[in-house]
Each structure stands twice: as C-alpha cells, then as structure tokens.
C-alpha cells in the first residue's frame, strides 16, 4: 500500500542554514544596537603582556632598531586605547608607566619629529589643539618634546 504524500518536508541542511542565518542576524542587530566594542574584545584582545615581553626581549638582545624604532601596537580594550609606537616611548613616557614596559640601557635619542605615536587611524595621537599630550623629552635630543 502506497501512502500519498502531498507535502515535502524540509531537509536537515535547510533547517541548519536557517538557524545559522538567524544567529548571524541576531549578532548584527546586537552589534548595531549596542556598539561593536563587545565583539572587539573577542576579535582583538588586550595585548599589554605580549608588548611588554616583546620590548623586554628586544632590550635583552640589544636590538637597537627593534627597541627604539619598530612600531608596536598597544591595545587596551578596557581603556579604549589602541596606540602604535616604539618600546622606547612606552618605557620612558609617563603616559605608559602603568603598563610597566621596562626601561633599557639602549640609547634611543632622536629628534622630536622622528618620535611617533599614532592611533589606529594612523594620525598622530595625543594632539589636542596643536599641543601634545605625550611627554617624550627623555628620548629627544633637541629639548622638550610633546607629541
């Protein structure tokens, strides 16, 4: 005896794709409604410990370029900080002392205009009305230096 089927059931693949689509839609709604900072903590977490270790290694190996000039990105999600600068700046500027990047015996003196601190957009960080907010005179060989 043959049973007459009038409707066709949904396949398992279709159900799984519908559920995944709803999850993605819910994540998008949540992200746009509350801001994307919640997801940023997952995608690009705070990296203070890694930067401190990299700087310590560069100093221990007496790698002058790596310590004085190579850009490191310091990300602290809790403070909404995303700065790109050198280990020398992080070790000497009072703005970064709480991250405990160790000072080094390497001489990193350079002109003020060569010292870089940039934000995630690539613009000089700390510039407020033409006045700098990062004191980096300890690295400058031409006097007081604010970036």
- The pLDDT assigned to 130 comes to 47
pLDDT tens-digit profile, the chain (147 residues): 556 666 566 788 989 999 999 999 998 898 888 877 667 666 667 899 999 999 999 999 999 999 999 999 998 888 888 889 999 999 998 888 999 999 999 998 888 888 888 877 666 655 444 455 777 878 877 777 777
- The pLDDT assigned to 129 comes to 46
- Cβ-proximal residues to 45 (8 Å cutoff; 6+ apart), any chain: 75, 77
- The pLDDT assigned to 33 comes to 86
Residue written as tokens 């403070």?
A: 79
The answer, as to whether pTM is greater than 0.75, is no
- The pLDDT assigned to 147 comes to 74
How do the domains of the chain map onto residue ranges? 43-109+116-125
- The pLDDT assigned to 128 comes to 46
Closest C-alpha to 132, from 123, 145, 143: 145
Q: Enter the DSSP assignment of 37.
A: H
């Amino acid at each position: 005896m043959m049973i007459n089927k009038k409707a066709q059931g949904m396949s398992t693949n279709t159900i799984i794709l519908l559920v995944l689509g709803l999850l993605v839609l819910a994540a998008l709604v949540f992200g746009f409604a509350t801001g994307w900072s919640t997801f940023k903590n997952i995608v690009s977490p705070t990296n203070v410990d890694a930067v401190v270790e990299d700087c310590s290694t560069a100093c221990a190996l007496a790698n002058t370029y790596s310590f004085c000039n190579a850009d490191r990105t310091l990300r602290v999600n809790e403070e909404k900080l995303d700065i790109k600068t050198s280990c020398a700046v992080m070790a000497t500027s009072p703005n970064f002392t709480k991250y405990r990047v160790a000072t080094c015996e390497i001489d990193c003196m350079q002109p003020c205009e060569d010292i870089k601190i940039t934000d995630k957009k690539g613009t000089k960080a700390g510039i407020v009305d033409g006045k700098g907010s990062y004191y980096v005179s300890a690295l400058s060989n031409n006097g007081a230096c604010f970036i």
